Chains A and B, each alone.
Chain A
Amino acid sequence: SQKIEQNSEALNIQEGKTATLTCNYTNYSPAYLQWYRQDPGRGPVFLLLIRENEKEKRKERLKVTFDTTLKQSLFHITASQPADSATYLCALDKGAGRRALTFGSGTRLQVQP
């Protein structure tokens, strides 16, 4: 069956360091992979999208990589700040034919000042 795995353990890092979150998937061939941020009691907020033919995407302090051979995406936050503390969700989009997302369970990031 299709499976998306994100590290269920919380990630604790010091302010200023780079946070790296992992998303692995099996039995899936996504055309797109997306990352979202979710704060407690709120809806997810879209951060970045990367297409299957792209290796890397950047936006300000965020970087996403997408390896379709390893079936893995890495999400990096450089120069992390306490305000980056949140749960980060990985989501796969199959593309044409089914226009909806399948989510991982998310990784909680805690940035210590």
Chain B
Amino acid sequence: NAGVTQTPKFQVLKTGQSMTLQCAQDMNHEYMSWYRQDPGMGLRLIHYSVGAGITDQGEVPNGYNVSRSTTEDFPLRLLSAAPSQTSVYFCASSYSSTRGLHYGYTFGSGTRLTVV
């Protein structure tokens, strides 16, 4: 049971380049989300998904796209990288019980992205 796997762990991009941050979970969780963490600002929600085929925007969605074609995978695409997107990115997943009770999130180990 690997939990939430994020790749790559480190990435350097040039301004204007595009790339995809990968996130995969093997726990059959229906809820997945992407956060970015900047010094002193805590984690901010970029996009989230409540199931395959369903995504929605968080607080800071501009410059990022997501899709959820399977339960397991939730990739984050940077369309045209900017220095302001230099950050640490975390993917997380969770689930609800059949009674609708919520549970804690499992986080990946993060992708440290630098845009020069």
Contact = CB atoms under 8 A, between A and B. Distances in A.
Contacts of A49: 102-104
A29 to B, nearest CB: 15
Given A100-B33, A103-B42, 7 more contacts: A31-B102, A46-B104, A95-B102, A100-B31, A100-B58, A104-B42, A106-B42
A46 B105 contact: yes
Q: Chain B contact residues: over half helix, strand or loop, or mixed?
A: strand
Contacts of A51: 101
Interface of A: 8, 31-32, 34, 36, 41-49, 51, 89, 93, 95-96, 98-106
Interface residues of B, number: 30
B102 A100 contact: no
B42 A101 contact: no
A45 B4 CA distance: 12
Contacts of B86: none
B42 A42 contact: no
